[in-house]
Amino acid sequence: MLVDFHCHTTESDGTLAPAELGAAMRARGVEIFAISDHDSLGAFPKLEGSGGGATIVTGIELNTTYKGNEVHVLGYGFPLDAPEIDTAITANRDHRVRRAERMIEQLAAAGYALDVADVRAEAGHADSALGRPHVARALVRAGYVPDVETAFRQLLVAGKPGYVPQTYMLPHEAVALIGRSGGVAVLAHPGRLKDESIVDELVNAGLAGLEVFYATHTPSQVAHYRELAAKHNLVMTAGSDFHDLRYNPRGVGMEVERADIAPFLERVL
């Protein structure tokens, strides 16, 4: 079956509006999907029935920081008005603004003049959750670099002029608050983890699932994370992590066996 529980819109760092992403899901024939914008739930009221007959699951991707590393925690199936989720979103979005402002200051000192308005213009609208991709796109638009990849490589990664480290909540906190809000907490793209030992810690905090089927996971990684999920009795999910057709040429949708994700579907449908 075709599903997708990890994708982004202009409410965070994607380039398709919510209705456009819903239309892409419909065109691809995706049966069930969740929008998982970074620190935002703004897409859901704007879907306007664009998903056609697809079932839509509430979702979010909370950015967290642990031991200097970025850890992304996906949450599914919680009420849109869950107060703890709203509080976490507000805290993370405030951090995003402060971080973007520091990036802009550091870039200006290095000779790359941008202002907050330039970055916000790349975010779609005033309520979008700001992130490094918006700064990168602003650098491209200003003519400083030819593309987003170059902006990241030359200016926005550790050791470069525009890099500012993240200081979000701990992933353990994100996992726990998603669970208290009635949702299913899932660790995103485990293949990108720098230290897999965190899985054990998050299981103790209430982690319920693992994104086993991910667009860039190799067959050996899928097999490994399938075993890890079984070891910890975690549900398995699938996600394309779609942001932009230019950088996600596979588009939306992940083909999976229904039996593999049935335990997850039982939790969120």
**Which residue(s) pair with 111 in the sheet?**
none
Hey, what domains does the chain have and what are their CATH numbers? 2-88+170-268 (3.20.20.140)
Q: Pairing between strand 184-187 and 209-214?
A: parallel
CA proximity to 125, closest of 244, 47, 247, 40: 40
pLDDT digit string (tens) for the chain, length 269 residues? 999 999 999 999 999 999 999 999 999 999 999 999 999 999 999 997 888 889 999 999 999 999 888 899 999 999 999 999 999 999 999 998 999 999 999 999 999 999 999 999 998 776 788 899 999 999 999 999 999 999 999 999 999 999 999 889 999 999 999 999 999 999 999 999 988 999 999 999 999 999 999 999 999 999 999 999 999 999 999 999 999 988 788 899 999 999 999 999 999 99
Q: Residue 169 in contact with residue 92, Cβ under 8 Å? A: yes
**pLDDT for the residue 51:** 80
The pLDDT assigned to 128 comes to: 80
7-20, pLDDT tens digit by residue? Answer: 999 999 999 999 99
Q: Give residue 6's pLDDT.
A: 98
Q: What is the pLDDT of residues 20-34, one digit of tens each?
A: 999 999 999 999 999
The alpha carbon of 27 is separated from its chain's Cα centroid by a whole number of angstroms, namely 22
Task: Give the C-alpha separation, 37 to 197, whole Å.
Answer: 26
Cα separation, 162 vs 152, whole angstroms: 9
What pLDDT is attached to residue 127? 74
Q: State the Cα angle at 83 between 77 and 84, rounded to 5°.
A: 80
Residue found under tokens 């299913």: 184
Pairing status of strand 32-34 against strand 55-57: parallel
Instruction: Look up residue 180 and give its amino acid.
Output: R
Round to whole Å and give the CA distance between 70 and 190: 11
Residue linked to tokens 């991707």: 61
At 61 the three-state DSSP class reads: strand
Long-range (24+ apart) CB contacts under 8 A made by 41-47 are 41/11, 41/80, 41/85, 41/89, 42/11, 42/18, 42/127, 42/128, 43/9, 43/11, 43/18, 44/18, 44/80, 46/11, 46/17, 46/18, 46/19, 47/18, 47/19, 47/22
